[in-house]
Amino acid sequence: MDLQANAALSRGLVAPRAGTRIPASCNALSRGACKSDWVTRCLIVDDSKQFLAAARLLLERQGLTVVGVALTSAEALQQVELLRPEVVLVDVSLGEESGFDLARRLIEGDPGGAAVIMISTRGGEEVADLVERSRPAAFLQESELSAGAILRLADGQGG
């Protein structure tokens, strides 16, 4: 069963076919009340309003819930505290700010909290040393951004 089918089932938009395996989390009263097999709450941090809009649209169409977007580190920290996302996508460069610094602050401030995934238009090899030092859950090139990639990375299965 694909991500969109799972999302539709969990929202009660479609009935399951006979013999379809449904994650137990689909029976929960609230998606936020239990930890499902897939990520449902995501925050995107990037200094480009156009990228934020495009990424939000893409990920929501693929079944993720984008709970918020942030243009700066300060906005991101405030929204993480308020919205408690399961995954935070952080651009490596936030204009005058460093996404790597934000990633470190998020991880050190709440080690068991949201999975932090660094994103960039640059390839992973170009930022590998900085990614390693900031200790995010993973790195994802923006051209490979998808709900499936985020779910695999947040689940520790690699890209």
Q: How many CB atoms lie within 10 A of CB 61?
A: 10
Domain ranges of the chain: 1-29, 38-154
Does position 125 have pLDDT exceeding 80, yes or no?
A: no
Q: What is the pTM of this model?
A: 0.70
pLDDT at 136: 63
Give helix 73-83 / helix 99-109 axis angle, nearest 10°.
30
CA atoms within 13 A on the CB side of 91: 23
Average pLDDT over residues 100-120: 85
Between the alpha carbon of residue 109 and those of residues 65, 114, 147, the distances in Å are 23, 10, 26
Dump pLDDT digits (tens) for 69-100: 999 999 999 999 999 999 999 998 888 888 88
pLDDT of residue 148: 92
Question: Cβ neighbours of residue 25 under 8 Å, at least 6 residues apart?
Answer: 10, 31, 34, 35, 36, 37
> What does 80-98 look like in DSSP terms, one character per residue?
HHHH--SEEEEESEETTEE
Average pLDDT for the chain? 75
CATH superfamily of 38-154: Response regulator (3.40.50.2300)
Across the chain, how many H-helices and E-strands are there?
6, 7
106 within 8 A of 85, measured Cβ to Cβ: no
Distance in angstroms (rounded) separating the CA atoms of residues 13 and 89: 28
Distance between start and end Cα atoms, the chain: 20
